[in-house]
Amino acid sequence: MFNNLPFKVSLSNNRAFRRFWQSTSGRIGLGLAIALILTALLAPILHPYDPTTDRNYLMRLKPPSSDRWFGTDGLGRDILVLVWYGMQTSLSVGLVSVSVGLAIGLGLGLVAGYFRGWADLVIGWMADILLAFPSILLAIALVTVTKPSLPSVMLAVGIVQIPVYLRLTRSVVLSLREQEFVLAVRALGASPTRIIFNHILPSTLSPLAVQATLSTGTATLEAAGLGFLGLGAQPPTPELGTMLADAFKGGYSLSAPWTAIFPGLAILLIVLAFNLLGDGLRDALDPRSVDTFQP
Pairwise CA distance, residues 124 & 189, whole Å: 29
H or E, element range at 222? helix 201-228
Q: Which pLDDT score, from 0 to 100, does residue 253 have?
A: 77
C-alpha to C-alpha distance for 282 and 207, rounded to whole angstroms: 8
Is the domain defined by 33-44+70-285 classed in CATH 1.10.3720.10?
yes
Instruction: Judge contact between 210 and 169, C-beta under 8 A.
Output: no
Q: How many CB atoms lie within 10 A of CB 229?
A: 17
Under DSSP, the state recorded for 47 is S
* Segments making up each domain of the chain, as ranges: 33-44+70-285
- How confident is the model at residue 125, as a pLDDT? 92
Q: What is the pTM of this model?
A: 0.84
Task: Summarize pLDDT for 146-167 with one digit per residue, the tens.
Answer: 888 888 999 999 999 999 999 9
pLDDT at 128 over 60: yes
Q: Are 220 and 94 in contact (CB under 8 A)?
A: yes
- Say how far apart CA 64 and CA 160 lie, in whole Å: 38
pLDDT per residue as tens digits for the range 163-219: 999 999 999 998 888 888 888 888 888 888 888 888 888 888 888 988 999 999 999
pLDDT at 6: 43
DSSP reduced 3-state for 60: coil
pLDDT at 145: 86
Q: Provide the percentage of residues in the chain whose pLDDT is more than 70.
A: 91
Give phi and psi for 127, each to the nearest 5.
Answer: -65, -40
